[in-house]
Amino acid sequence: MSRTRKIYLEESEMPRKWYNIQADMPNKMLPPLHPGTKQPLSPDDLAPLFPMELIKQEVSQEKWIEIPEEVQDVYRIWRPSPLVRARNFEKLLDAPVRIYFKNESVSPAGSHKPNTAVPQAYYNYKEGVKKIITETGAGQWGSALSFATQFFGIDLQVFMVKVSYNQKPYRKSMVNTWGGQIAPSPSTMTEAGRKVLELDPNSPGSLGIAISEAVEMAVKDPDAKYSLGSVLNHVLLHQTIIGEEAIKQFSKTNDYPDVVIGCFGGGSNFAGISFPFIRLNLCQGKKTRLVAVEPESCPKLTRGVFHYDFGDTMGMTPLLPMYTLGHNFMPPKIHAGGLRYHGAGPIVSQLLKDKLIEATAVHQLESFDAGVKFARSEGIIPAPESTHAIAQVIKEANRAREEGKNKTILFNLSGHGLVDMASYDQYFAGNLQDYSVSEKQIKDSVAELDIFPAE
């Protein structure tokens, strides 16, 4: 009868501060550079895009940043999220491991993205912003931001990569239901979009094009700002509530993770689960391993270079110091759309360079196989992105069995897959494949970056 599965926190126990890892990093990051002048960026350079409070968070060295009451109030719709002991999955793997996951799929948008969407919407609202413009690939971010903006009376325009817009109609419906507007990109609403459509009226779009459309529209509208769902420091900051909750939850058990695992796209869900545990490694001498799991088809952490690079394919964003495959790298069309990004957030990149975290890569079929195993033991159908973390959990469990060592594993279930079921269909139909990226592809793609060596 003591087979407890879920470790809850009361709402009153929810952390009231985000953890800013910049305060504890042994080596600071290199500064972002202006895309035109190549000089270090000033806060004013970002003012057309972001509200000042987020720009301050982007560069803050304060260790703890207060979560505003109004943000906590919206967080309480689904937070604190449960920490769950995956007892059935443990049994299936039959290894000397205890497996826990943070269930971020319980948010109304079905993923961890609202953790930053809500404060971003709030800070914009506080500074009088009337409209936010963003892009979305597979749609997780666009739908989360639509969920968030409605609470603060802010209009939302989402540019969604056209091929995904057509393939994933439910994401569009979610954006609309929460009150946001959404258009397939390239669109005729911006110069950038029109330029692309002139050259190729049937362009399927790309995240790079969508970013360009969103940035252009935001810069031209004095009442509007731009918003990004990953990569940047303030985005990662907001996600740390995941790991801070997990630490409080572990303190209610006799357990503590030996290894923490998160899938990796731009870095936000991985940062959210891992940074607070890095804090305890750095400040309390804990020795938890932190493992970022990327797809083999987009291996920036395991095979990219550490370099200054643009965030978008068009070269309009600031240059960021990061592990990258080059901004022109075109990742194969794996179904974990949220992981198809050429670069890694600057903080995560610096941590990897300093060997404070590890990185690994898994193939698409292995990740779906892991996802189905998880669904059939724990009941929750994971998002294609999250299955990458689960595949790594299986590897860690296998290693523990081989080594005969006990191990406690924590991973982030960043989202459920109920809006991505078409991906599972393709998997069961045998239509999915693994993609390998050749050395030459990476070499050619990063060769374009030689102007601004980061080292």
Asked if 202 touches a second copy (CB under 8 A), the answer is no
Stretch that binds a second copy, among 293-301, 349-357, 375-383, 431-439 (CB under 8 A): 375-383
* Residue of 152, 178, 250, 323 that binds a second copy (CB under 8 A): 178
User: Is the omega angle on the peptide bond into residue 80 within 30 degrees of 0, that is, cis?
Assistant: yes
Q: What mask of x and - would describe binding to a second copy in positions 299 to 338, judged by CB under 8 A?
A: ----------------------------------------
Question: Which residue, 151 or 329, has its beta carbon nearer to a second copy?
Answer: 151
E strands, 104-169, in order: 131-136, 155-161
Asked if 432 touches a second copy (CB under 8 A), the answer is no
Distance in angstroms (rounded) separating the CA atoms of residues 391 and 272: 19
Query: What are the Cα distances from residue 98, in Å, to 258, 278, 403, 406, 410?
Result: 10, 20, 15, 8, 8
* Residue of 73, 223, 354, 448 that binds a second copy (CB under 8 A): 73
Question: Which residue, 150 or 441, has its beta carbon nearer to a second copy?
Answer: 150
**What is the C-alpha R_g of the chain?**
21
Contact assessment for residue 197 and residue 248, using Cβ atoms and an 8 Å cutoff: no
Query: What are the Cα distances from residue 437, in Å, to 72, 298, 309?
Result: 43, 8, 20
> Which of the residues 266 through 295 are near a second copy (CB under 8 A)?
none
Q: What mask of x and - would describe binding to a second copy in positions 351 to 370, judged by CB under 8 A?
A: --------------------
Question: Which residue, 216 or 385, has its beta carbon nearer to a second copy?
Answer: 385
∠ CA 13-233-41, nearest 5°, is 150
Q: What mask of x and - would describe binding to a second copy in positions 221 to 250, judged by CB under 8 A?
A: ------------------------------
Asked if 8 touches a second copy (CB under 8 A), the answer is yes
Please name the residue that has the structure tokens 């749609």. 139
**Minimum separation from the CB atom of position 176 to a second copy (A):** 6
Asked if 405 touches a second copy (CB under 8 A), the answer is no
- The b-or-e profile of 45-84 (16+ CB within 10 A means b, else e) is bbeebbbebbbebbbbeeeebebbebbbebbeebbbbbbb
Contact assessment for residue 281 and residue 311, using Cβ atoms and an 8 Å cutoff: no
Question: Which amino acid belongs to residue 205?
Answer: G
CA-closest candidate to residue 341, choices 323, 366, 319, 318: 323
Stretch that binds a second copy, among 56-64, 164-172, 304-312, 335-343 (CB under 8 A): 164-172
Question: Which residue, 173 or 203, has its beta carbon nearer to a second copy?
Answer: 173
Asked if 254 touches a second copy (CB under 8 A), the answer is no
H/E stretch holding 12: none
Distance in angstroms (rounded) separating the CA atoms of residues 203 and 2: 56
Strands 319-324 and 305-310: antiparallel
Asked if 92 touches a second copy (CB under 8 A), the answer is no
* Residue of 35, 48, 68, 179 that binds a second copy (CB under 8 A): 179
Asked if 76 touches a second copy (CB under 8 A), the answer is yes
Contact assessment for residue 171 and residue 155, using Cβ atoms and an 8 Å cutoff: no
Asked if 430 touches a second copy (CB under 8 A), the answer is no
**Minimum separation from the CB atom of position 357 to a second copy (A):** 30
> Which of the residues 131 through 150 are near a second copy (CB under 8 A)?
147, 150
* Residue of 129, 156, 174, 348 that binds a second copy (CB under 8 A): 174
Asked if 6 touches a second copy (CB under 8 A), the answer is yes
Stretch that binds a second copy, among 22-30, 171-179, 213-221, 316-324 (CB under 8 A): 171-179
Distance in angstroms (rounded) separating the CA atoms of residues 438 and 34: 32
Q: What are the residues whose beta carbons fall under 8 Å from the beta carbon of 136, sequence distance 6 or more? A: 142, 143, 145, 158, 159, 160, 161, 164, 171, 210, 229
What residue ranges bind a second copy (CB under 8 A)? 1, 3-6, 8, 10-12, 69, 73-74, 76-78, 88, 106, 108, 110, 147, 150-151, 169-170, 172-174, 176-179, 372, 375-376, 378-381, 416, 418-419, 421-422, 424-425, 428
